[in-house]
Structure 1
Amino acid sequence: MDMDMKPAAVDRRPTSAGRHLFLMLWLLLGVASAAPAVTTPPEPVRPEPGEAAGPAGTLLEPRLVGLLTLYTPREVERFYAERDWRPFWIDRDGPTAAARSLLEAVRASGDEGLNPAEYHLPEIEPLLLATPLNGADAARLELLFSDAFLVLARHLAEGRRRPADVDPDWHIPVQAGNPGDLLRQVAAGRPVSGALDSQRPAHPGYRRLREALVRYRALADSGGWPELPAGEKLESGMRDARVPILRHRLQITGDAPSRLPADPELFDGELDAAVRAFQSRHGLEVDGVVGRRTRAALAASARERVRQLVINLERWRWLPRDFGPRHIQVNVAAFELEYLERDQPPLDMKVIIGRTYRSTPAFTQRMTYLELNPYWNVPKRIARLDLLPKLERDPEYFDRQGIRILSDWSANAEVIPPAEMEWEPGSGRAFPYRLQQLPGPLNALGRIKFMLPNRFDIYLHDTPSRNLFQRTVRTFSSGCIRLEKPIELALRVLEGSSWNEASLLEAIDSGEHRIISLPRSIPVYLVYLTAWVDAAGVVNFRNDIYDRDRRMEQALFGYPRH
């Protein structure tokens, strides 16, 4: 487990429900060998002022109640009320098989990017060492095991933190789990391990990332990798005393083969290939040169990578368990789009995303139609901040770009000459007009716009600025997603209709604005994943372009949710 993961500072005072349940179970467990099971909970026994506490099993010492923390007291109380207040995890011989299975799952929860300390492990393990187990400790263990199961099941199903609490730009609804129902199933005989396994994401992407966490945590625990000393850039053909360190660094992460070369200080072809592999999986320019950006990626410690993997496992738990038989996923942090459909090869392409100050949010919506030769109705914010200042500097700018000014946003709006526009920058008045760019080769939306109606006014579209796809960091839009291969995507989403490539290109070349409904709507997921493992098993990392990992790190390693 990452030792930096710490449980939250929480209020350790039990609720009245938790105090009542603790006392009741203590009484039941303490006298289990002498009394039959009861069907209604007994009244709490409390000492009179000045009265000393009696032996265990007959009287609860108030100070002991204060040592018990329950994160889900109402769910715990409901569980025991439904089973006539009979213990489940602890019997006369101590922890049951179910309790031992849960303990094993809690100890292994670090492999999920979770924190075992949040599931009462520091409290449970010392109690298990007591021989024999007295009634008070048995009752505490009983409650702690139930609470641990409920919290662990919820974390596996929904994540440790609510997205709204840690990432205001994440708007994909989290599917609620039902840990209380799951606990009842376990009490009815369902194996603990199978019940908990059913809560974690079953997607191969989650499983591969989980396996990567185990490997990188082992690397971190064994000392990580060496830091490359400062100096000039390194590239193929050079001989340098830092080359053996670079090679060793890349061998540790599997980018370079483990064999030793004949000339250790020579930057040979094999090392060049290793550097390129490293650059590729870190989203860098693949040129084989160890320059400033590649050095920065090499300098990230194994512990930093562990934390990055933990953060992205949490994001996976926020995602739907089933994306559907076909869907589009845009990983904003990777500048990539994937169209995925069962029994078909995926369609991959580069994308351009929002600038850092106009970041693209994470959300999901269904794509329902596309537009050929679209008009661009410029959002008011972009009109005010971007286009109107250009018009002020260059009165002919709108004419050259095919932009016209409309009187309002209605269907019957009139065209207004720029000279007749009654609005002054800095006047404090809202901009009352609509800027509209006509279809054509300069249109910012290109030839195709893919519509997924949403409150963010974000959509996918073509672009005339094709040269920007050659950049490795592609934060150039105002939030929308610009596509490298819009024609290919259009053909995929129109499968099942009468459209083919020839008819689609003919309609585009006509210049006529046209709306085409999709034969089937398609879910689109815009996500933010800065670490993932591809189908070939390659672990990928990306820079935190929107500073969202930092917020997640504070939440996951500082103040977790229960």
Structure 2
Amino acid sequence: MGRARSLGLARGVILALACAAFAGCAGRGGEGPTTPSPAIERPARAWSAAALAELRAALDAAPAQGFASDLATLAELDRLDRASARDADAAAALDALADETFARLATYFAAGAVDPAQIDPEWRFPRPAAPDIAALRASVAAGVSPSLLLNGLLPTAPDYSALIAELAALQALPASDTDANGRARDARIDAVRANLERWRWLPRELPGRRIDVLVPFFELRLRDGAAPAIVHPVIVGARRTPSPSFGAAINSITLNPTWTPPSSILTNELLPRFRRDPGAAEADGFDVLDRAGQVVDPALVDWRARPFPYTLRQRAGAGNALGRLRFDLPNPYAVYLHDTPSRGLFARADRALSHGCIRVSEPETLAAAVLADPAWSLEALQTAIEIGETQTVQVPTPLPIYIVYLTAARDTSGAIGYADDIYRRDAPLLRALDNAGDQIAALDAGDATTECAALGL
């Protein structure tokens, strides 16, 4: 019965089509040509279908760069794209949302989604310049690929690419059969995402010959192009006195340096100790200098005086806090790279121990590599140090140095290594990174509601 009914319906459709065709032929034969219906004109759009498709694909792929997903904007772009086929207001709204999305992605790719000044008080690198959105948008209008323009704003350093590959590998891992393994995977994903954002905060052009100090890894790397990095263990700032992240240049090396302690160490540590034991100043090799630069007998000093009217300066020697060698890198944070009289501390796994300066293992070897001068070989440096005189050796070409807080980074073999988040910086960075996406999603949702009401959709 059902099959007979289906056949009947099919015959009816065929008959109707035949009749319509016959009527059309009859009409053309007896009444002449009919007036065609006017074509529906598609509203004009600034974003072509191809450019919009690329923009949508870039937004959809943003999580591969460590950004939060933005499903709300993707859905709204799709909705307005469909509506724009028949509605000029929807076409205008689509162009506006595409412009905003493109500008946002360009800013995120060029300088990061999070302002480092709001997240990491010790991050002292200037944020990369914001992109020229007007020029980029003009390029899109001229037919340049939006994806090409956006991807050109990302860091090109091999370390960034290695983190991207690591994130893809972690996200592709199957669900773990244990909670512990799942947490480990998720923790690594979080670390990679946080450090991808930090790389977007860094200068885009890093010199091939430079020193990188990776604070959480307690490691210094002297890089020289494609040659294997020379690695030195380091001691970094303690958790209460963290090492800042900044860039500078080593312009000289001081052999047998003296040490003038900064006011924080003077006030909080040395003066209270010398007040309790005035003989400790002399025992530790400190000279007390008056305002004229004359040495004062420590026994005559009022260690309780505030403000303290003298300058303390520790004499050069094996017991000097800077050791026998200091790398001079002028900076506003009073941070040095230097030797230490307590070389046994390098045997510790956790070396967050200093007041913020970087103490380096085997400093004479590093100094010889930095100078790269036959006149200042390792043996020549050691001989000059043994003489005991304070001497400054100029670095022929100042060597850039970058002290950075990275908790996931490529090691010397090319694999990604993970370090303890000693200053607890990753969690607030990830919250801000995810909130950046949430805020945009909320804004887009509000705009979508307004547009729907206005368009009657």
In the superposition, the TM-score normalised over structure 1's length comes to 0.67
Helix, strand or coil at the partner of 1:445: coil
Aligned to 1:208: 162
Q: Does 1:361 align with 2:319?
A: no
1:174 offset after TM fit, Å? 2.0
5 Å matches for 1:504-543? Answer: 504-534=381-411, 536-543=413-420
Mapped contact 2:113–2:436 kept (Cα < 8 A): no
Which residue of 49, 55, 64 corresponds with 1:102? 55
1:111 offset after TM fit, Å? 0.2
Q: Does 1:503 align with 2:380?
A: yes
Mapped contact 1:327–1:340 kept (Cα < 8 A): yes
Helix, strand or coil at the partner of 2:409: strand
Deviations 1:121-158 (A, max 9, x none): 23213334559443222222122112111110110010
Helix, strand or coil at the partner of 1:502: helix
Deviations 1:97-128 (A, max 9, x none): 11111111111111001134189223213334
Matched letter for residue 472 of structure 1: A
5 Å matches for 1:307-346? Answer: 307-346=190-229
Aligned to 1:223: 175
5 Å matches for 1:167-206? Answer: 167-176=120-129, 177-206=131-160
Helix, strand or coil at the partner of 2:375: coil
Tell me, in whole angstroms, the C-alpha distance in 1 between the residues paired with 2:105 and 2:420.
Answer: 30
Matched letter for residue 222 of structure 2: Y
Percent of aligned pairs with the same residue? 36
Tell me, in whole angstroms, the C-alpha distance in 2 between the residues paired with 1:373 and 1:161.
Answer: 43
Gaps of 5+ in 1: 1-30, 35-56, 58-85, 91-95, 229-248, 250-298
Q: Does 1:113 align with 2:71?
A: no
Matched letter for residue 459 of structure 1: Y
Q: Does 1:545 align with 2:425?
A: no
Q: Does 1:153 align with 2:106?
A: yes
Mapped contact 1:308–1:530 kept (Cα < 8 A): yes
Tell me, in whole angstroms, the C-alpha distance in 1 between the residues paired with 2:51 and 2:85.
Answer: 20
Aligned to 2:3: none
Deviations 1:252-280 (A, max 9, x none): xxxxxxxxxxxxxxxxxxxxxxxxxxxxx
Matched letter for residue 133 of structure 2: P
Mapped contact 1:362–1:528 kept (Cα < 8 A): yes
The structure with the larger Rg is: 2
Mapped contact 2:411–2:417 kept (Cα < 8 A): yes
Matched letter for residue 280 of structure 2: Y
Tell me, in whole angstroms, the C-alpha distance in 2 between the residues paired with 1:333 and 1:455.
Answer: 22
Matched letter for residue 189 of structure 1: G
Gaps of 5+ in 2: 1-38, 441-457
CA gap of 1:131–1:153, structure 2 versus 1, over 3 A, is closer
Aligned to 1:422: 302
Q: Does 1:125 align with 2:78?
A: yes
Aligned to 1:271: none
5 Å matches for 1:477-496? Answer: 477-496=354-373
Q: Does 1:379 align with 2:262?
A: yes
Mapped contact 1:119–1:149 kept (Cα < 8 A): no
Matched letter for residue 328 of structure 2: M
Matched letter for residue 217 of structure 2: A
Aligned to 1:241: none
| Bigger helix fraction | 2
Tell me, in whole angstroms, the C-alpha distance in 2 between the residues paired with 1:515 and 1:118.
Answer: 59
Matched letter for residue 443 of structure 1: N
5 Å matches for 1:127-142? Answer: 127-130=80-83, 132-142=85-95
Aligned length: 400
Matched letter for residue 380 of structure 2: S
Mapped contact 1:497–1:519 kept (Cα < 8 A): no
Deviations 1:241-260 (A, max 9, x none): xxxxxxxx5xxxxxxxxxxx
Matched letter for residue 377 of structure 1: T
Mapped contact 1:111–1:213 kept (Cα < 8 A): yes
Helix, strand or coil at the partner of 2:156: coil
CA gap of 1:515–1:435, structure 2 versus 1, over 3 A, is same
Tell me, in whole angstroms, the C-alpha distance in 1 between the residues paired with 2:177 and 2:140.
Answer: 43
RMSD between aligned residues: 2.4
Mapped contact 2:83–2:91 kept (Cα < 8 A): no
Q: Does 1:89 align with 2:43?
A: no
Tell me, in whole angstroms, the C-alpha distance in 2 between the residues paired with 1:225 and 1:538.
Answer: 25
Tell me, in whole angstroms, the C-alpha distance in 2 between the residues paired with 1:499 and 1:344.
Answer: 22
Mapped contact 2:84–2:91 kept (Cα < 8 A): no
Tell me, in whole angstroms, the C-alpha distance in 2 between the residues paired with 1:546 and 1:516.
Answer: 35
Structure of greater relative contact order (alpha carbons < 8 Å, 6+ residues apart): 2
Q: Does 1:397 align with 2:277?
A: no
Aligned to 2:32: none
